[in-house]
Amino acid sequence: MKLHVYTRPVDAEKYPAGLAHSVHLACEAADGKVTPFNKNYGILFPQGRISDQNTIVPLGIRDPALFQKEDGVISICGELIHEDETPDQESRGKVYLWETQDLVHFRTVGLVDVQKILPFRPKPALELDQTLVQKALSYWSPITCTGLYVPQEVHVHTQKDLEDVQATLLYSDGSTRQKKVHWNLDNVDLTQPGIYPVEGVVRQQYFDFPLTRGYGDPVLFPWEGKWYFISTYDNLNDIGLYVREADTAEDLFAEGIEEHLILPYAPERGFEQTFWAPEFHVIGGELYILFAVSGSKWGPQCHLMKKKKTGRIIDEDGWEEPIRVVRQDGRPLTEDAITLDMTYIKAESGSYMVWSYRENIGTSLDSGSMLHIASIDEREPWRLTSDPVLLTRPLLGWENVAGTINNEGPHAFIKDGTIYMTYSGGHAAWYTYALGLLTASTKSDLLDLSSWTKSITPVLTFYSVEGEFGPGHNSFFTNEDGELMIAYHGETSIQSHIRCDGIRRVHFRADGTPYFGMAKWEDVGQADVTTMVIVD
């Protein structure tokens, strides 16, 4: 089977240079049919360069080609160019190179002398093992539910025995998952031995997009039998922190639900603008909200506030006075830059804060927003216990697309000993906004950069789910059925700039890694099932 590598033409309105100047993959079958990987969105993005002024010089790729060595390693290379398609003079005589063995996981080699690869005769298309290419195509294709089954008969003694019988759902990538069944027991007499036909329904929790309009950075949080929703409140110019309370996650978005103001505009306290990205976190057994806010001078800074022992989440006086996050020595995180989007990670190796930091915003020396990490003591989470460590900068084309230079909005979950931390790149209120992914072991020192792996390809984009543009700045929560869910904001069209909220289930591939782009129509909706119940 033939594999093609290519770039796409720049479309300033629908597919800007930062995306178009990346390596795209497609396979060609024997009948000549060509199928793009990843819905024809870029997969490999070269890293930009950091200038002497600490700014980012975006770089793309052109004329990509590939070759395979005798050991089976596949190399993909291309010439570095700038957004205006002029050659990058600093890399003249070199090509940018990636290596892979499976067309799924790629290692960035970086710049190498062009003379070193010429003997391999790189080409824009190459015949490769059919099984390898088809397996990679499956990985880069949408995952869909292909069926489900329940046991044909079950032996039960109690109602709980039947309630424990679950459906097994099958997916196109070979993954499976278990799902609860709502069984109808009206025709079953558990006191009388016999065989009873029983019907049931498999239901998946869904939230239509858009859920709300004018809300960014959504967070859902269960606490003491209730559900809470908090976000950046675009509809009120991002002034004030408001919370919703309901009995279920769905009820948080019911028409007419009350919004409770818990941190108002207060010039005398230094809270006047950019009430941004609030998050609920339990730290050391106490409930906090992490958020950013500015005083009279624009410049958001990371703060946190703690719920009082007897306070209610929805009451303004249920919270202690907000505290600005400081360094080890008590100095602010920054004197003249901005800090925002702080989140918390509890790992086996310790407790950490991750946040976004940016210098010289709006000037020619704009550093772009970048993620920093530091350790904390849970007893005083507002004070770092280490120096901040630069974790990632927006060097990839999808992160610095069309003049935006963002790494922001980090949020993490842990599964099977691995920390999965998503973050956002691109424009926070535009269709190019997208999610990236950083991973690390929960046992590793998260202040050691070698502990982290950064995905080259974004994991959620405006190509992922039809009708959802610019999905980003997400959070995670576990729903009533124990399923991991992702909440995010996006837009309803390429032209729209009104941030709207969405929620969907996080699927896990056959290899155990998360998949964030399963659309409602690609998953199970409502399915009727039957079984024979045998009462012994």
Phi, psi of 452, deg, nearest 5: -105, 145
The mean pLDDT of the chain is 96
Q: How far apart are CA 44 and CA 6, in angstroms?
A: 11
Q: Are 211 and 202 in contact (CB under 8 A)?
A: no
Q: Which two tokens stand for residue 522?
A: 């690609």
Token duo for residue 501 = 């909220």
% of the chain exceeding 90 in pLDDT: 95
Which tokens go with 400?
Answer: 């610095």
Strand residues in 46-165 grouped as ranges (E): 49-50, 56-57, 60-68, 74-81, 94-100, 106-113, 125-127, 145-149, 153-156
Which domains, and CATH codes, for the chain?
2-139 (no CATH), 143-213+460-536 (no CATH), 217-455 (2.115.10.20)
Kindly report, residue by residue over 149-176, the tens digit of the pLDDT.
999 999 998 889 988 999 999 999 999 9
User: How far is CA 435 from each of CA 438, 460, 502, rounded to the nearest angstrom?
Assistant: 10, 5, 14
pLDDT at position 536 is: 84
How far apart are alpha carbons 492 and 345 in whole angstroms? 31
pLDDT of residue 518: 96
Predicted structure pTM score: 0.96
* Count of Cβ atoms closer than 10 Å to residue 466 Cβ: 9
| Each residue's pLDDT tens digit, 451-495 | 999 999 999 999 999 999 999 999 999 999 999 999 999 999 999
What value does the mean pLDDT take over residues 187-191?
87
The whole-number pLDDT of residue 313 equals: 98
> What's the rounded mean pLDDT across residues 107-133?
96
pLDDT tens across 269-286, in order?
999 999 999 999 999 999
Contact 220, 280 (CB under 8 A): no
pLDDT at 148 over 90: yes
Q: What is the dihedral of CA 424, 172, 105, 35, to 10 degrees?
A: -90
C-alpha closest to that of 23 among 114, 90, 122: 122
Retrieve residue 410's tokens: 């980090």
Q: Which residues pair with 415 in a beta bridge?
A: 418
DSSP class of residue 136?
H
Please state the rounded mean pLDDT for residues 52-70.
Answer: 96
pLDDT of 124 above 90: yes
Instruction: Give the pLDDT confidence of 334-366 residue by residue, as tens digits.
Output: 999 999 999 999 999 999 999 999 999 989 999
CB neighbours of residue 511 within 10 Å: 10
**Does residue 187 have a pLDDT over 90?**
no
Indicate the DSSP class of residue 322.
P
